[in-house]
A and B are shown apart, each in its own frame.
Chain A
């Protein structure tokens, strides 16, 4: 147990070095991630030309949502962890990891944390520039940010996204190529997760269903929590559902891992 704990900072450090080896790739990724915010600004200002409010949102309120979403995404979304795990299983790179006295899920979680730290560092400056430029055009409602509710939701989002990614990637024990499955789930995350538009713009019955799904707690819930647009009751209920889903996926990942290991054949060194 103690040796496992001692190894974790090393795993984190290796993950960080692995990410920073390709700094330009990271910087490009961070720069491109600001593009959807720019597109959203242009699109929504056209929508608001004829209306003062859309749903419960004003133009500054809606753009604040998209701007905060950019931070949520940079802190909590896995980069290519899914493809890395899939490759480790498919190409037999799991063998040396299995020999170590370190649970695979914890090993991957620390690599995920390192990746998020590296990405957030790379994305920080472009995000600040984006915020600055956007706030010159539209008065963003950053004064309403609620860190007390937002930070636990952000943490829950990272845990949920990691556990979901782990579940999906571990299906590589059975399938040769899981990229189609990964991209299919991406599209669901974008639509039902509040990445394309805030979920409360949906018609009420559809919104009620979307709030029960795990995807809502990946982007919409942490963003709305940070923006301070949720009531206390809604936030508490959301947090319970978010951590509940994360826990459920972690348990599921454990069972998939156990079943997968029985099927896995280690060949070579």
Chain B
């Protein structure tokens, strides 16, 4: 299928999902508050730890705020556009409703990933952007145009890592009947992304840099804003995230072969 057709289809899906979301406005505001409370929790943790120390692995309090809020920004964009669809996959497989997806003349991975949208997280992405800006202001940093463009590209690369991890986890549903705990797994594993890269060591650092580059997801974009562009780590981030996405996609298709329709 032509990429432009997929893009048009995605826009249609967004319009449909937006209409559905706006029908439940109270729910929208409730989720904005929920997500905000989790972000406040992370910032409170930073506040408590820096109440006792000045620097952690070379990161000052405001640098850590930029790191945490960058991570939040990527996570919220992911939660808005891709996560709602992916988390529905276990239910689709269990109930056999994946049949309706497979019958459509569109790549199933695309349909599964983009079928849903939540607009609440976008409001929180705005708040995360604001906190990032405040962190930079406190550090006395005014990012250049080039570093801002690089930051945006790196955010997109970070989205790929989120996508790869969750796609891999939800694809386990083809082997395990009830795989609701994979969402817990996603949130548990993604705590790694909030760590300063320099804090990690040994096999932990190797695995979460090269195999599943979670240590790069927020670190590289945040470091780009704070310390400027570093081509080496940026290239590593791009390569590892592309590889992770490819691997997850292959795993999804491998799982799809095991799918047994519930209706036939």
> Is there an interface contact between B195 and A180, defined as CB atoms closer than 8 Å?
no
Which residues of chain B are near A28, meaning CB under 8 Å? 172, 176, 179, 181-182, 185
A1-44: CB near B (< 8 Å → 1, else 0) gives 00000000000000000000010111011011101101100110
Which residues between 172 and 205 of chain A lie within 8 Å of chain B, taking CB atoms? 177, 180-181, 183-184, 187-188, 190-191, 196-197, 201-203
B192 within 8 Å of A (CB atoms): yes
Q: Min CB distance, B92 to chain A, in Å?
A: 17
Stretch in A48-56, A139-147, A229-237 touching the partner: A48-56
- Tell whether A46 is near chain B: CB-to-CB under 8 Å: yes
Complex Cα–Cα for A31 and B53 (A): 32
Q: Please name the residue on chain A nearest to B29 by beta carbon.
A: A180
The interface residues of chain A lying within 8 Å CB-to-CB of B27 are 177, 180
| CA of A180 to CA of B28, assembled, Å | 10
Asked whether B57 is an interface residue with its Cβ less than 8 Å from the other chain, the reply is: yes
A residues 143-174 in Cβ contact with B at 8 Å: none
Q: Which residues of B sit under 8 angstroms from A201, Cβ to Cβ?
A: 48-49, 51-52
- Name the segment of B7-15, B33-41, B138-146 touching the other chain: B33-41
Asked whether, in the complex, the Cβ of A46 is within 8 Å of the Cβ of B57, the reply is yes
Query: With a CB–CB cut-off of 8 A, which chain A residues contact B195?
Result: 39, 42-43, 46
Contact residues in A for B34 (Cβ distance below 8 Å)? 180, 183-184, 187
- Tell yes or no: A47 within 8 A of B by CB: yes
Instruction: Assess A51 versus B201: contact at CB under 8 Å? Given A180-B33, A187-B38.
Output: no
Q: For the complex, is B178 an interface residue (Cβ under 8 Å from A)?
A: yes
Interfacial chain B residues near A39, Cβ < 8 Å: 191-192, 195
The answer to whether B179 and A25 touch across the interface, beta carbons within 8 angstroms, is yes
Instruction: For the complex, give the distance between the alpha carbons of A32 and B179 in Å.
Output: 13
What is the CB-to-nearest-CB distance from B82 to chain A, in angstroms, rounded to a whole number? 19
Q: Which residues of A from 51 to 69 have beta carbons under 8 Å from B?
A: 51, 54-55
> Cβ of B52 and Cβ of A32 under 8 Å apart?
no
For A188, what are the chain B residues with a Cβ–Cβ distance below 8 Å? 37
Minimum C-beta distance from B41 to chain A (A)? 5
- State whether B188 touches A32 (Cβ < 8 A): yes
- Closest beta carbon of chain B to A207's beta carbon, Å: 10
**Are A32's CB and B185's CB within 8 A?**
yes
Q: Cβ of B45 and Cβ of A184 under 8 Å apart?
A: no
Find A32's partner among B56, B57, B184 (CB 8 Å cutoff).
B184
Known: A35-B191, A39-B192, A187-B37. 6 other contacts (CB 8 A): A32-B185, A42-B200, A54-B52, A80-B180, A183-B34, A190-B41
The 9 closest A-B pairs by CB, nearest first: A46-B199, A180-B30, A35-B188, A29-B181, A32-B185, A22-B178, A187-B37, A24-B176, A46-B57
In the assembled complex, 22 residue pairs joining A and B whose CB atoms fall closer than 8 Å, in A order, are: A25-B176, A25-B179, A25-B180, A26-B181, A28-B172, A28-B176, A28-B179, A28-B185, A29-B181, A33-B184, A39-B195, A45-B201, A46-B199, A50-B53, A50-B55, A177-B27, A180-B31, A180-B34, A183-B34, A191-B40, A197-B45, A201-B51
Residues of chain A whose beta carbon lies under 8 Å from any beta carbon of chain B:
22, 24-26, 28-29, 31-33, 35-36, 38-39, 42-43, 45-47, 49-51, 54-55, 80, 177, 180-181, 183-184, 187-188, 190-191, 196-197, 201-203
